[in-house]
Amino acid sequence: MAPSQRTALVVGGAGFLGKHIVQQLLDTGRYNVRVFDVRACGVPGADMALGDIRKLDDVANACRGVDVVVHVATATPTSENALNKQLMDDVNVKGTANVVQACQQLGIRSLVYTSSASVVFDGSDLVGVDETQPYTARPMDYYTETKVKGEQLVLRANSASLAVVALRPSGIFGEGDSVMVPTFVRQAKAGKMKYIIGNGKNVWDFTYVGNVAQAHVLAADKLTIGSELAGQAFFITNQEPIPFWTFTGDMLEGLGYARPHIKLPLLLILFVAMLFEYVIRPLLKPIKELSTDFTVFRVRIVTRQRAFSCEKAKKMLGYVPAVSLSEGVARTVAHFEHLRNADGAAAQHGKAQ
């Protein structure tokens, strides 16, 4: 059993996943929790250390006196920053290097890093792959490239004085999500979510945020220098693969929007995406910055199989998802009630085939 009242620092604890990790660490009763972020966390019971992960001094000051660091902070591609490579490099690579360096300098013995299942995704189908799958040699976007670099940097730091572990969640959703569900709703309101690209049968691993947080707490509890966890990476999912378009439809229908139901040929949409991304957008860039929602990467990622084995996490971490996929969707829909379709007149087109 882990010693009582250890001090955990959650880097990026004011974000979507970070808040859930902070709350679950506090709920164990075994941790004093400190949050390091650029904004307040808002979780009662957690101490706050404001600062910038890009500044080593800020990171080191936040790390003083802690037993375990949980590094969740990441710059993710959104409509606003998808083209901001500098931000992703500064946070996901250089910021991660700062966290590792601070741990090494201050003698912190445990570091849990939030990676991404995308570090092995190269645009090909992935079905039941485990941690022996190599890193992608051709990342599909710059975010993935920086997460590969960040994970490699962390795992290389495993030593006789610092134990590290990397967790690779896939398709995180849940209460507080600022990307997936709001994007679904925004696109639905624009009439863009009625389409299925391809045959609609590609299977995905989506993961409820509470289960991802659960895996982080397990890692924080069990990670010690020289343990079998040290230096390892783990895929974290709900262990309930589901067709991408079925999950999307369940979420949209729960919020009163029509399920995707009109099938479009994959090759045609890929061609249009290439034309838009590599010809039209560059030509118009001097005049107008166009949306980054429609890219080759996004077309590929929503039409490929992406299902991962969690056997390693089950065996070594003791990870068994506490919340089912259906319950996670129900909780998410309830949380986003304010985004419900005003007229509630979702068309009924059945499950995606």
Residues involved in catalysis: 143
Residue with tokens 């795992």: 155
Task: Show the tokens assigned to 310.
Answer: 């969690």
Nearest to 219 by CA among 140, 142, 316: 316
Residue bearing tokens 């920086």: 146
Cα–Cα distance for residue pair 100/97, rounded to 1 Å: 5
Q: Which residue has the tokens 């996929």?
A: 325
Helical segments of the chain, H only: 16-28, 56-63, 85-88, 96-106, 142-156, 180-189, 209-222, 244-254, 266-275, 281-284, 296-303, 311-316, 325-335
CA separation for the pair 150, 230 (Å, rounded): 16
Pick from 227, 234, 180: nearest CA to 212: 234
3-class DSSP assignment, residue 304: coil
In the DSSP assignment, the letter for residue 137 is S
3-state SS class at 292: coil
Bin 162: left if φ > 0, else alpha if -120 < ψ < 50, else beta. beta
Helix, strand, coil % over all residues of the chain, rounded to 5: 40, 15, 40
